[in-house]
Structure formats: C-alpha cells, structure tokens
C-alpha cells in the first residue's frame, strides 16, 4: 500500500452540515493514498453521505479543509470538482433515465475536448461490455446493476484520479452487489482511487484496503479492511453484527 507521501485526497478537521448552526460532520481528519479503495462505514445517520457530499461540494463546509492532489478544493463548486480529478456518483439521480445509454455517455463527455470524446466513450464501452451491447437502450429500462454501472461509466469518462460513490449497492440484490463490487475492484486495480460509502459492510470489506467508521459525525475507528472484518468489537458496536442475534428466553 502507498505511504503518506502519496496522499491523493484528504480532509482536515472538516465540519459540514446543511444548516450553519447544525454541524453533521464534526471535525473529520481523513486521508486516502493514491490507488487505495477506502470504505466509509457507520450506523444510519452517522453522517457518511453528508461527509462525502461535503467533499464533493454538495453540502456546505463550515470549517476545515478538503484537499485533492495537494490542492485545496474546499470551496471549489461541485460542477468544477471534476476538473480537479474528483468524480462523485450520488446514490440516486445519477443517470438520465429518459435518455439512451449512449446519450448519457455523450452528455458526460461534454466536458472533454471534442476530439477526445469518441475515444473515451469507446474506452468506456470496452470496460463495460454490458453497456456496449445496447447503446441505444433507454437508461431507465436498465436493471439496477446496469444503471449503477452506467453511472460509474459516466463518472469515469473524464479519467478522474478519485471516484467517490455513495452507496452504489443500495436496492440491489446480493448477487448484483457482488458483480458491481467486482467491477469497482477492477476499476481500482486500473489505478483509480476509490472512496465508497457503504451499508453492505461484509461485501464491501472484502474488496477494500481500509475502512473508516463514522459515528455521530466523527471518526470512531479506522483500520485495514482485513483487521476490521475480524474485529468482533467493531462488528458489535458499529456495524450491527449482532443486531439480529437471538436473545435467550
């Protein structure tokens, strides 16, 4: 794993929330090395989505800092973050359902110089054969997993250095979740750093390098994915491992 010198994304004492007097993220220090796949875990309402949305410029940052590749991106507007190499795939409304697969990709490619667009779309089709097989299909008619892959393909079109995904497994069956996660692992192996907010803890830990656990807007615990997967205390306290345990009469 890469060392601290190759940190690509970081936050320092980040405080963020929807209203000025109500911080949801309450002073988070976070560091991701180039090439890592890092999970953000934690109970419902812990502030996981709010944290990544604040990095993406979609939730106001009250104080602290977010940096990407050494540049301060705290106040960079959401639509310009992509020019700095940060792509964000929100949980919902991440594709244009009424447009075709191809038009979804064309729209995402709009930010690129004209002469590069078809080359990048071809590269994406090579990476996602499922999409390549039916470019004129309406995106809204795709399965949940295929939609998620289209959203990821759209985000990758500009070759971001960091891809942040907010619960890409939401609403998908376990089989499709494994397919989506396997594809994310492949993308990560090609050099894209990935930050993944997930509720699907077990499957996500299986593909991750490291995980950070947020509780009430703060980092409660962090460690290697392998270490956290085997840590019963973490499972019990934060991941709900015993939520459904049988209680003796």
Ligand X SMILES: Nc1ncnc2c1ncn2[C@@H]1O[C@H](COP(=O)(O)OP(=O)(O)OP(=O)(O)O)[C@@H](O)[C@H]1O
Binding site residues, ligand X, CB under 6 A: 18, 24, 42, 44-50, 199
- Name every residue whose Cβ is closer than 8 Å to that of residue 186 and which is 6 or more positions away in sequence: none
Nearest approach in angstroms of CB 38 to ligand X is 16
Min. distance of Cβ 185 from ligand X in angstroms?
22
Whether the Cβ atoms of residue 166 and residue 89 lie closer than 8 Å to each other: yes
| Shortest spacing between CB 202 and ligand X, in angstroms | 15
Q: Rounded to whole angstroms, how far apart are CA atoms 38 and 40?
A: 7
Q: By C-beta, is 35 or 43 nearer to ligand X? A: 43
Nearer to ligand X, 191 or 240 (CB): 240
**Of residues 183, 151, 167, 177, the one with CA closest to residue 53:** 167
CB 45 to ligand X: min, Å: 4
- Work out how close the CB of 199 gets to ligand X at its nearest, in angstroms, rounded to a whole number: 6
């Amino acid at each position: 794993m890469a060392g601290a010198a190759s940190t690509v994304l970081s936050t320092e004492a980040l405080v963020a929330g929807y209203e000025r007097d109500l911080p949801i993220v309450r002073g988070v220090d976070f560091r991701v090395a180039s090439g890592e796949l890092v999970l953000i875990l934690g109970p419902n309402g812990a502030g996981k989505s709010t944290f990544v949305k604040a990095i993406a410029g979609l939730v106001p940052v009250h104080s602290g800092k977010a940096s990407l590749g050494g540049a301060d991106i705290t106040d960079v507007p959401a639509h310009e973050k992509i020019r700095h190499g940060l792509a964000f795939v929100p949980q919902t409304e991440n594709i244009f359902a009424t447009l075709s697969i191809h038009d979804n990709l064309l729209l995402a490619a709009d930010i690129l110089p004209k002469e590069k667009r078809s080359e990048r779309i071809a590269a994406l089709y090579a990476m996602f054969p499922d999409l390549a097989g039916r470019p004129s299909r309406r995106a809204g008619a795709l399965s949940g997993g295929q939609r998620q892959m289209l959203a990821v393909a759209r985000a990758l079109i500009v070759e971001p250095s960091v891809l942040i995904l907010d619960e890409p497994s939401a609403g998908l069956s376990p089989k499709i979740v494994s397919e989506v996660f396997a594809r994310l692992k492949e993308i990560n192996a090609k050099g894209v750093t990935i930050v993944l907010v997930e509720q699907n803890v077990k499957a996500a830990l299986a593909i991750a390098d490291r995980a950070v656990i947020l509780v009430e807007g703060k980092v409660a615990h962090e460690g290697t994915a392998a270490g956290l997967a085997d840590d019963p205390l973490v499972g019990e306290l934060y991941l709900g491992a015993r939520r459904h345990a049988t209680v003796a009469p």
